[in-house]
Amino acid sequence: MENYIWYIIIGGIALIGIIIFIATSGKRRRNKAYAMIQSDYGRVPDREYTEEELLKIRSYFDLVHSEDRFAVDDITWHDLHMDEIYVTMNATYSSVGEEELYRILREPSFDAAELSERDRVIRYFQDHPAERTALQYEYARIGRTRKVSLAEYLNRFRNLNLKSDWYHLLPILLIVLSVALCFFNVMFGILAVLVTIIANLYSYYKIKAQVEPWYVSLSAMAYLVNAAYKISRESVPELEQYYEKLRKETKPVMSLRRDLKWLGEGGKGVLSMTITEILMDYFRMMTHFDFIKFNHMVRSVQKNEEHILEIMHTLGFLEAMISVASFRELLPFYTVGEFDHEKAHLELHDGYHTMVRNPVANSITVSRPVLLTGSNASGKSTFLRMTALAVLLGETVSTVPAHSLKASFFRVFSSMALSDDLQKGESYFVVEIKSLKRIMDALPGDVPVLSFVDEVLRGTNTVERISASSEILRKFAETGSLIFAATHDIELTGLLEPWYENYHFEEQVDGNEVKFDYVLRPGKATTRNAIKLLGMMGYEEGVIQKAEETAERFVREGKWTLS
């Protein structure tokens, strides 16, 4: 008897332990997630992207972008290596966050108040780690879609044709009639019930195969609405305007949260289902009730697309700003940037490129276009990209890698990393002149253009290059825009001196070593170390001497002759 008592006591203790373990498992998972989120903050995200993922992320921008709003075009995005910048900055945990961050980087804002508000929200997240982590936890619960973006899910519902609800009510009616028949004729009633069950099962699985792929899309929409509802219930005065918007936009689509449970959990095996889930599964098979709810949810999504887009935008904006707050922790220093709508001007102090290891900071103050000269690898292209990024990041995420930036609002264009287009059969020169033409077509405008061109018209001969590029560059200058053009053609520095300011980079040849300090200097390049490099590479002294004499003669006489 005493043994039974001990068994009961031990069993009771074990049962209590199991209950406590189950009750606290959620808290442990939450604490583990919090620890991961806190450790990730302020670090370069450890995530690899496929080309398919980047295209998926972009799809939201393609869906919501309006043609009347300026966007960074594909050439400029590619030239500035913006995918790499985005990947470094993207510390989000959800699809809405990463898609909105991408959209923000593609669509500069020319509204100082809007940029100031972004900075305010970013600073709030920088200064409130507890609130930031709690919000990130909710985004982690939303998660990321795999192959299809939330925007594409939403887009797919637009033209989805649904069967009438009456079509799905017929199985319920047949069940009721066959059961009622049992009261009048048991044998025929039972036969009718069996036939109805078989017919309902057959039609159920036939329809289920057609609509089940849409269940994933609806689940994603429902999880989004549920997260917006939960987040908006919090009391955060600094974010109240966003939470109020979420409360407003979720009201018309709250039924998505309630109706989702009727769809069941696709892909879940029978052995892992509870008794309640199994019974509900049979109920759905017999009545097709989940198809009725499916219709209701789809109509709600189609009717309330604008509300769902606003939820995506608002939720995405908040997480995108958290991501920028984390990005700021990676930078040695940064500024917000001061922008105005005055005549084109730019004043950048100690700007540096975020993707360059041990970068050299440079400063420049200009209100006229710039010609940049210097040898290969001296720092011209990096400087062009750095300056473009300083303006672009200031106009998007209010975070400029520099000590200060004062500038006009600019539409940023570039023509730098071009190549032959083999598919179209276009040579490098054709691709280049098309690239420059697209910038020229943007002139003038309400917002001035800031453009960056690396090696103007490098795809043609010297005579035509200098004559054509001088006229093109003069045209840019006469429109009142700012252009930074790198060139090896020293002749351009003299021809364009009335319109352009000259800056250059230098290198030093020390024995058999070339040293670059990557410091921007005023004026045109004067060194001719390229010829000295021939000697370092083992060319005969006679070749080097002749080259030096030919160069000196050109500088003195203004024409090329060989001795």
Phi, psi (deg, nearest 5) at residue 377: 70, 10
Pairing mode, strands 449-454 and 482-486: parallel
Per-residue pLDDT at 188: 78
Per the model's pLDDT, the better-predicted residue between 262 and 339 turns out to be: 339
Q: How far apart are CA 187 and CA 177, in angstroms?
A: 14
Type of residue at 470: S
What is the overall mean pLDDT for the chain? 85
**96 burial class (0-12, 13-18, 19+ CB within 10 angstroms)?**
buried
Per-residue pLDDT at 96: 94
Question: What is the residue whose two structure tokens read 């108040």?
Answer: 113
Q: Which residues contact 24 (CB under 8 A, 6 or more apart)?
A: none
What confidence tens digit (pLDDT) does each residue in 461-473 have? 777 788 888 888 9
User: Domain spans of the chain?
Assistant: 2-152+319-330, 159-314, 338-527
| 120 Cα distance to chain centroid | 21
Per-residue pLDDT at 459: 64
Annotation: CATH topology of 338-527 = Rossmann fold (3.40.50)
Q: Which range scores top for mean pLDDT: 19-33, 160-174, 484-498, 537-551?
A: 484-498
Q: How far apart are CA 310 and CA 314, in angstroms?
A: 6
Q: With CA atoms as reference, report the closest residue to 150 among 315, 323, 327.
A: 315
Which residue spans within 385-506 are E strands per DSSP?
A: 404-408, 411-415, 449-454, 482-486, 501-504
Degrees (nearest 5) of the Cα angle 102, 108, 110?
Answer: 155
Per-residue pLDDT at 432: 82
Q: pTM for the full model?
A: 0.84
Percent of the chain as helix, strand, coil, to the nearest 5: 60, 10, 30
What confidence tens digit (pLDDT) does each residue in 382-408 have? 999 999 999 999 999 999 999 999 999
Model confidence at 44: pLDDT above 80? yes
What are the C-alpha distances in Å from 25 to residues 36, 37, 227? 17, 18, 21
Model confidence at 425: pLDDT above 60? no
Q: What percent of the chain has pLDDT over 70?
A: 88
Q: How far apart are CA 361 and CA 352, in angstroms?
A: 5
Model confidence at 272: pLDDT above 50? no
Q: How far apart are CA 120 and CA 128, in angstroms?
A: 12
Q: How far apart are CA 259 and CA 265, in angstroms?
A: 13
Q: With CA atoms as reference, report the closest residue to 14 among 264, 134, 22, 177.
A: 22
Number of H helices, E strands in the chain: 21, 12
Degrees (nearest 5) of the Cα angle 25, 26, 31?
Answer: 95
Burial 44-61 (b: 16+ CB within 10 A, else e): ebeeeeeeebeebbbbbb
Q: How far apart are CA 275 and CA 553, in angstroms?
A: 95
What confidence tens digit (pLDDT) does each residue in 185-205 have? 878 778 878 888 787 777 777
